[in-house]
Structure 1
Amino acid sequence: MNPPLKRILPAALVVFSCAGIGLKRPGPPVEPVVIPPSTPIVPVETQTHSILNMVQSLLHSAFTSIDHSSHQAALDSLSVATDHLVASYQDEPSVALLSRETADALTRAAIDIYFDALPGSAPIKPDAPIARLLQSLPDDLKSSLLTNTRYRQLHMKVLAGTSPIRIDVNARVLEKIAFFQRNGQRIFRTWMGRKGTYGPLIRRTLRKEGLPEDLIYLSMIESGFNTKAYSRARAVGMWQFVSHTGRMYGLRRDTWVDERRDPEKATRAAARHLRHLYNLFGDWQLVITAYNCGQGRLQRSMQADGTQDFWKLDSLPKETRNHLPKFMAVLLMARDPAFFDVYDLESDDPLSFDVVLVSDPIDLLLAAQCAGTTRETMQTLNPELRLGYSPPQKGRKTYALRVPFNTSDRFLDRYARIPSDKKVQMIDYKVRSGDTISKIAFSFGVRSSTVMDANGVRNPRRLRAGQRLKIPIHPSKSKHAQALTSHSRSTTAGKGEKVVYRVTRGDTLWDIAKSQGVTPEQIRAWNKIRTTGHIHPGDRLTLWIPDTPLPKGSEPLVETNVYHRVRRGDTLWDIARAYSTSIRELKRLNNIRNASQIKAGDRLQVREASAAVE
C-alpha cells in the first residue's frame, strides 16, 4: 500500500465517527460485503447510517485486499462502493442518502484506492466502475481534483479506454503530452484547426473501410493535416506517402498531378495500406509503427529485439520510437483539451466542394474567376495540381476539378464563354530532323516531362521527324509559343537571308542565336552540330535569317532553372558547349573558382530562369 494512502484513508473513514473500523492489518483478506436484500422501510437517518457504514466497510475491504496483493478482490469491493457513490451524485440532494461532503470525502478515498488497485499503464474501459464514478462527479469536485496526480492518471486511463486502439499512459506518452501542453501547444492548436477541415472526410473514409476512426491522429502526427507537407525522406501529403508506396496504392504522380496531395485519394490509399499492415501484424500499435518506418524495418527490429512489444523494441530508429507515444499523446489531448490546459480551440470549416468535369486544361486563376472565388481557394481545393492548371486529357476523358460548394453551375456557365486564347493552349508542333524532347521543351519554356506526359511519350529516344506533338502552353506564354512555331516554319534551310557568321572567342550558340534572331536549335540543325558538339573560334556558321525577325520576348524561355548532373569524364568546357553557354557563366552560377573542383555526381546550374517574359 502506498504510504500517502495509509494516511489519507483512515482520515477519510474516521471523520464520520465510524467506531470499530480500525486499519490494523488483519490476517486473511476480507471478502467484499454484499448489499443486503430489500427490507421494510426504515427512517432516513437509519438508511444513511447503513449506507455510510457499508461504503466505509467496502473501502476498508478493498484497502486490505490490496495489502495482500488481491487486486481483483479489491476491485470487486470498490465496484459495489462505486454504485452507492454514483447514486449519491445522481440523486437530488433532498433525497440523497449521503451528503455532498460525505460523498466527496469517500470518493477521494475511493480514487486513492483505485489508483493502487489499477497499477500499470493499461487503459480503463468506459463501462468500468471507476470510469462511471469519474463521469458522475460534479464539476466543482472535478476542478478541485485537477491537482491530484492520482485522479489525473485515472482520468487519462479512462480517456485512453475510449479508443479501439490500445493507448498506454506511461512516462513516454506523458513526456509528449507535456511537450504539446507547453512548447508544442501552438503546433497542437494548428493541427486541431486543420482537423476541422479534413476530419469529417478522413473519418468517413476510415469508417467506410472498417478501420478505427482514431487513425485520423496518425495523419495529424505525420503531417498536421497539411496537404503540402514534404519530408526529408521525400514523403508527400497529409499521409506522407513516398513515391513507390503511392504507386502501389494507385496514386498518380507525373508532371501535372501528384495525387499524394489529394486529401480524398490519399486517404483512401492510406486506409488500404493500413489494412494491409494490420493483416500483417494484427496489432494497431505495430501498424502505426510500421507506417512510420516501413514493415521491413519493423520486422527486422522485432527479430533483433526478440519481442513484439513496441515498448521493448530498442533497435527502432529514434524518430519511430517517438512516433507512437506522439500519436497517443495527441489522441488523449484531443479527447479532452481543457483537462490538458488547452482552451479556446478554433476549428476550421469542414471541406466542402462541388466537382465539375473538364476536358481541357484549366488555369486555376481563370477557374477561380469563373467560380467567383480566389486562386488560393482553388489551390486549397485542388492541391494535387502541380503546375497550377488541370492536366490535358486524351480522347473524351475528363478531369474532376473541385470548385467551392454550390458554384458548379456558375463555373460551367462562365467558362463556356471564355475565349479560347485565354485558356491553356495545346500547341501543335511538327518534329524536325535533329529535334529532341529536351530541345523542344527548352524552346517552348516547359519541362521535358511536360511534353512527354502530354503526348504519352515513354522513351524520348524514339522521337522521329514528322511526328506531331501537343505542347501545353500557359496563356501567359501563348504569344511566345505561336511566334516560335511560325518562326520555325519560316526558317528552314534555304529560306530567308543567308548569312555566314564567324565564331569569335567567347561566343556561345545561345549568344549567337539571340543576336541573329534565331534559336540555338536552328543553328545546330543548319550546321549539323550534334548536341554534344562544340564550336570553336574561327568556325564559320551558316544562318538563315528570317524576313520577319523573332519577336522581342519570344526567345526560348526557361520555366525554371536548368541543371546538369555531372557524369564521369565531364569538363566545364563539355557542359558549356552542350548547353550553349560559357565556362564563365557556369562558374558564376555555381560559384566555382577552380574548374577541376567538379566531380561526377555534382549538380550544376546551367541556365537561370528566363527573364525574357515581359
Structure 2
Amino acid sequence: MLKKLSVAVAAALLASCAVPTQQDKTAGSADGQYESKDAPIQDKAASAQQVANALLKHNSPLQPDAKLAQYDNLWQRIADQMTLTVPYNDDIESQKRFFIRNQKLLKTASDNAAPFLYHIVTELERRNMPLELALLPIVESTYNPKAGSFSGVLGIWQFSSGTGRNFGLKQNAWYDGRRDVIESSRAAMDYLQYLYSNVEQDWLSAVAAFNAGEGRVFKAIERNKYRGKPTDFWSLHLPKQNTSYIPKLLALAELLKNAEKYAIPMPILANQPQTKVIPMNRGLDLNKAADLLGISVAEIRRLNPGFKSTTVPSASYQLVVPIDSPDSIEQRLAALPQVKVAPVAASGRYKVKSGDSLSKIAAAHKTSVKAIQQANQLSNSQLKIGQQLIIPGLSQMAETTKVARSDKAAHPTSSGAQSYRVKSGDNLWEIGQKLKVSTEQLTKWNKLTAKTQLKPGQTLTYYTKPVEKSASAAKSMTYEVKSGDSLASIAQRFKVKVADIVRWNNIKANKYLQPGQQLTLYLAS
C-alpha cells in the first residue's frame, strides 16, 4: 500500500487551504455605485455556452508527441512545460517554506495521483491549458478523492454539489461524480476554461475565481476597470484567505520546477498511463469485477472512488481498470452475471417487518446502513413495523421489470406538455440533459422530491417552452442585475440553467452583465 501523509501534515495543509470552492459563495454588492464598461472577451479556450450547459463530453486525450513521450518521469514532464510567471513576494516565499518543511507532501500527492495523473496531464496538454493546473489538486486535497470539508465540497477538486451538477457531475444514491477523478477533472477543466474566458484571459484570476467564487472576482475586475487600474490577478483587491490560494499553487510550481535548487527530491512517476477507462451499461458487482481483474476490492474501489458501494446498478457509467488489463476485459466484464436484487425491493422501496434492522435490510439488498439512512433522512437506526424505506439505487437495478421501449423518447400531448417514459437506468439529471430542461423543473412539474426513485415505465411530464402560470408549470419574472452578479450566480440563485438565461434574453454567455440590466427569467411554479 502507498505510504500516507501523517495526520499532522495533512491537517496543516488542509487548514492552510482556502475555504470551499466554486460560485456557491458569491460576493455581495460593491461599495459605492459605478457603471461597468462593456468589454467583451474573445473566448480562446472553450465555448462558454457549451461549458455552461454542462454538455462538453470527455474526449479521449491525444497521444503525446515524440518529445513528450521521451520523458521518464511524468512530474518532470509537467515541470518542463510550466509557463506561469512566479514573482517574488512574501506570501509565495512563506508557502515555499511550508512545503520545504513538509517534503512528504509531494510524495503523498504523487502516490494518490498515480492512477490518474497521466490522464489529467494529457488532457491539459490537449486543451492547451497551463500544466501548473495539474498541481491544483495538491492545494485542494493532496489528490485524495475522498477529501471533503464541513461545507460539503468533495473530491480532488473540491466541487460543491451545485457546481458539480452545473458541470455535468452526476450525484445519486450509488455514485458521486465529484469523487470520480476522471470525470471531476474533466468538469474542473471545463469550469476553469469558462472562467478564463471571462476574466480578461488571466489564468491566475481564473484559478482565484475557481476558489473564491466567480462573482467576487468578476466584481473586483469591474471595479478596477472603472477606476482605470490594471485587471491582472495581482492588482485585484480580494480577501486574504483567497489571495493565499494562488501563492500555494505558485510555490508548488516553483519548487517542482527547481527541485534540485531547493534540495527537494522530485517524486518519480512513470510517464505512461497507469489505467484505462471502460464504458459500461449494466449492473455490476465490484467484488466479482475485482476477481476477474486479479486485483483486490480495495484497489478497484481506489480506481473508482465515485461509487458509493460495491454494487453498481444497471446504468451508463465508466469503469477505471489497470492499464495492463487484457484487451478482452470489456467483453469478460460484460459476461459477468447481472446484479440481482430482492423482488420485494424491485420498486426501490421496502416495507419494514417485525425483526428487521437496518443492518439486516442493508445486507439483504447489497447496500450500506449509511446509504439507507441518507436516502431516508434517518437520524438513528430505529425502525417501525410497516415503515416504508427507500432502498438506494435498486429501482435502476431491477432486472424483473419489463420496459416497453420506443424509438421516440418523448411523445407530444395536448396543452403544450410532453411526456417521457422512464427507461431502466435513467435518472433525473440524464433525462433533463436529454430533454434540455433542468432537474429542478422536472421535479416540480411531476411533484417529485430529491429522494424519489424513478421506476422503469414511469411517465414524466415536461414542457419545451415556458407555459403560462395558470398551467402550473412556469412563471416569468424580470430580474435587475446587481453589481457583482454573474450568469452562473443568478442561475444558481433561481435554480435555472445559464444556457436558458442566455436563450431567454438573446445574450452571449461570455459577456459581462451590466448593473441595472433587465433579465427575463422563467421559474418553475
Relative to the length of structure 2, the TM-score reads: 0.49
Relative to the length of structure 1, the TM-score reads: 0.42
Q: Which one has a larger percent helix, Structure 1 or Structure 2?
A: 1
Larger Rg: 1
Point out which structure has higher relative CO (alpha carbons under 8 A, 6+ apart).
Answer: 2
